[in-house]
Amino acid sequence: MKKWIVLLALCIVGIPLLFAGNLQKIHPLSSPIYELIDFLYISQGLALPSTSRPYSSAEVYHLLDRINYGNLSKIEREAYDSIRKEAQPPAKVFSFSFPLSLEAYIHTNIDDFTKPEDWTRGYEERRPLVDIILETWPGDGVYGFTSYPIVGTKFTGPYQASDLYGTTAFQSNLRFFGFGKEYNASDWGVPYRAFASLGGSTWNITIGREKAAWGPGVSGNFMIDEHLTYHNLGRYTAFKDAFKYTLLLSFFPHPSLYYTKGEGPESFNKNHTSSHNILIDGINMFIGHRLEWRFFRDSMGFVISESIMYQSKENYLDLSILSPTMVFHNLYIRQNANSILAFEFDYSPMKHLNIYTQIAIDEFALPGEENGYPSAMAYMLGVKGTLPQKDGYLFGSLEGVYTDPYLYLRDDGNLADGVVNQGIGEYGINWIVAIKRLYSNSSIFYEEDFIGYPHGGDAVVLNANLGYRKIGRWNAGGNLFLMWHGTFDKWTLWSVVGGAGNEPVVTAPTTSHPGGNKNNRDSNAKDRDSASLTFALSAYGSYTCNQHLELFGQIDLVHIRHADHYRTTAPITDLQTSLGVTWRF
C-alpha cells in the first residue's frame, strides 16, 4: 500500500514537470508581439509595458497576467489571444524553418542616394533571401536559437556600399540577379542572431549575439537602441509584480584595432580596415543596469538606467564594474570609462493615451563655468495612442527629440598641458562602437556607429506616425520624419568649451564645425557652414494571405537640404520603393 502511495505522489509531482512549458524563447524585436502588448496596455490605461527588450516568453506571460481579460473588448481579446499563442511553448525539442523572401528596390536618384543610410528602409529592415533558422528546447528552462541568413554584404570596401543601395534604379535581393555573381558579394559575417537562453518563471539569462533596446522611443533611444546589427551580449533580467531589473554586458572591438597609427600626428587609419590575421587585443565593453517600477495602479512607469563604456587597451578588467548594484559614476576611472545616466517616465492619464519622456545625462555643465566640459544631454517627449476600431485598431505617436552636439563624444581621459582634449587620430572613450564587417571574403572593415540614439548628437527630431492593424491579417501606416542636424558627427573631436582659446559653448543644431583639423574622418569639416534638414514621408503596409505567405511594401519620399552641411549644396530628393513577398515553410 505504501508503495502505491509513494508512486501516486511521484506521479502527482512529476506530471506538472513532464508537461511544463519551456518559456525561455527570446522574441525578436521585429516580432508583432511588442506592438500588440503596447496596444493592450495603452488601451487599458496602463503605463507602457517594460521598455527593456527583447522579452522571453516567461516575461510575455508575466505582462499578460497584469491585464484583466474580462475587461477587454473583442479586438483587445483578439490581441491578447494572439500574443499568448505566439508565446506558447511548442511540444518539440527542435525546429527548423526556412523563410524565403524576395525583395525589389526601386528609386529615382542614383547619384546621391547610394549608401545604406540613405534609404529609409535600409540594411537592418531588409529581409534576407533565405533565413536558415534552428530553434532548440533541450530542457524546461533552456532555449537555443541560430539564424543563418543568406544575404548580400552591406559593404564591398571601407565605407563603400554594395550595389544593393542605389547605383542603379532597380535592384533586388536575388543573389544572382542585378547584384553581381561574385562569391565575395555574400555576407560571411553571419549569424547576427545566435544565442542561448536560460531561465525560470521570473528571470532569464541570455548569452550570445542578439539585438537589444532600452526605452520607449519611436525614432530611437538614448542608451541602447535596436539599430545596431547585433550585440555580443550577456544579459540578466528579473521581474516580479511591479518591478524589473536588467543587467546588460555588450562587447565590441577595441578602437586600437582600427585606429592604427602611422608616422606623424595626423597619420592613422581613417578607413578603419584590418585583417582576420590580426591578433585581437583590448577590451571595449558596455555594462549597464536598469531598474523599472510601476505605480498608481499601473498607470505610471518610472525607470533609472546607468551604464558605462569601459576600455582597456592592455586587457585590464576592473572587477568592480561587474557589480550589479554598483553606482558606476562613483568609480572615478575617467581614463577607462565614460558613464551615462538616463531617466524614463510615462503616464497614461486615460484609456488609449500614454505620455512618455526620456532624458540622458552624458555630461552636465554648470552655467557660466569656464574651461568646462561641454554639456552632453538628450531629451525626448512623446505621446502614443491606440483605439480599437471595427475589426482592428488604430495606433499613432508624436515624438520630439533634442540632443546636444557633444552627446556621446569624449576624449581618452589623458591630461596634456593641464587640459583634457582629444587630438586627431585619438579614438576617445566615447559611445561610438564598431560592428565588424567582412568584405572581399577576407578583409575586415570596422563600421562605427552610435550605440544609443541612431542620429547621434547635434540633432533636433520630430517624428509622427499613424496606422491601422487588423490582427493577423494586414496593416498599413504612414510616418513623417523631420530632422535638423548640425555639423557635428561621430568623428568630431571632443574639447573643453568656454574660456579663452577653447571651443565656444554650442547648442543643436550647429552651423559651424570646431576649427582646425578636429574631425577624425573629414579634414575639411572646419569648412562646414550649415545644418542639414531631412524630410522623409513614408507609407507602408503588409498583408498576410495565410500562415505561409506574406506580401509587404514601403514607399518613401526623402528630401534633404544641405546634406553635406554646406550652404552652397543643392537640395537632393529621392523616391524609394521596396516591395517584397515572404514564404514561410
Query: What pLDDT does 560 receive?
Result: 98
Measured distance CA(533)–CA(562) in Å, rounded: 7
Decide if 535 is inside a domain: yes
Query: What pLDDT does 188 receive?
Result: 82
Measured distance CA(296)–CA(284) in Å, rounded: 40
Instruction: Provide the residue range defining the domain that includes 57.
Output: 24-583
Structural domains of the chain, count: 1
Residue 34 CB partners (closer than 8 Å, separation 6+): 27, 53, 55
Residue 418 CB partners (closer than 8 Å, separation 6+): none
* pLDDT tens figures, 133-159: 999 999 889 999 999 999 888 887 777
Within a 10 A sphere around the Cβ of 492, how many other Cβ atoms? 25
Measured distance CA(223)–CA(228) in Å, rounded: 12
Query: What pLDDT does 264 receive?
Result: 47
Q: How far is CA 266 from the centre of its chain?
A: 33
* pLDDT tens figures, 311-367: 999 998 888 888 888 888 888 788 889 999 999 999 999 999 999 999 999 988 666
136: β partners? 94, 144
DSSP per-residue letters across 368-391: T-TTBPPPEEEEEEEEEEEEEETT
Residue 177 — very low, low, confident or very high, per pLDDT cuts 50/70/90?
A: very low
Measured distance CA(476)–CA(189) in Å, rounded: 33
Cell of 109: 536618384
> What residue type is 241 in one-letter code?
D
Decide if 3 is inside a domain: no
Within a 10 A sphere around the Cβ of 30, how many other Cβ atoms? 13
**Range scoring the smallest mean pLDDT among 95-104, 162-171, 245-254:** 162-171
Query: What pLDDT does 266 receive?
Result: 52
Measured distance CA(568)–CA(529) in Å, rounded: 9
Measured distance CA(34)–CA(542) in Å, rounded: 17
Residue 192 — very low, low, confident or very high, per pLDDT cuts 50/70/90?
A: very high
Residue 415 — very low, low, confident or very high, per pLDDT cuts 50/70/90?
A: low
Measured distance CA(148)–CA(193) in Å, rounded: 8
Query: What pLDDT does 445 receive?
Result: 84
Decide if 309 is inside a domain: yes
Decide if 10 is inside a domain: no
Question: Which 8-state DSSP code applies to residue 17?
Answer: H
Residue 485 CB partners (closer than 8 Å, separation 6+): 455, 458, 459, 460, 509, 531, 532, 533, 534
Q: How far is CA 201 from the centre of its chain?
A: 26
Residue 441 — very low, low, confident or very high, per pLDDT cuts 50/70/90?
A: low
Query: What average pLDDT does the segment 184-205 reach?
Result: 91
User: Over the chain, what is the mean pLDDT?
Assistant: 89
Decide if 61 is inside a domain: yes
Question: Which 8-state DSSP code applies to residue 73?
Answer: -
Cell of 571: 537640395
**Contact indicator for 101, 128 with CB cutoff of 8 Å:** yes
**Contact indicator for 502, 434 with CB cutoff of 8 Å:** no
**Range scoring the smallest mean pLDDT among 276-280, 446-450, 577-581:** 276-280
Cell of 534: 531631412
**Contact indicator for 552, 543 with CB cutoff of 8 Å:** yes
Query: What pLDDT does 369 receive?
Result: 53
Decide if 7 is inside a domain: no
Decide if 33 is inside a domain: yes
Q: State percent of the chain over pLDDT 70.
A: 89
Residue 582 CB partners (closer than 8 Å, separation 6+): 99, 100, 101, 127, 549, 550, 552
Cell of 483: 530632422
Residue 15 — very low, low, confident or very high, per pLDDT cuts 50/70/90?
A: very low
Decide if 227 is inside a domain: yes
- Provide the CATH number for the domain around residue 189: 2.40.160.130
**Contact indicator for 24, 57 with CB cutoff of 8 Å:** yes
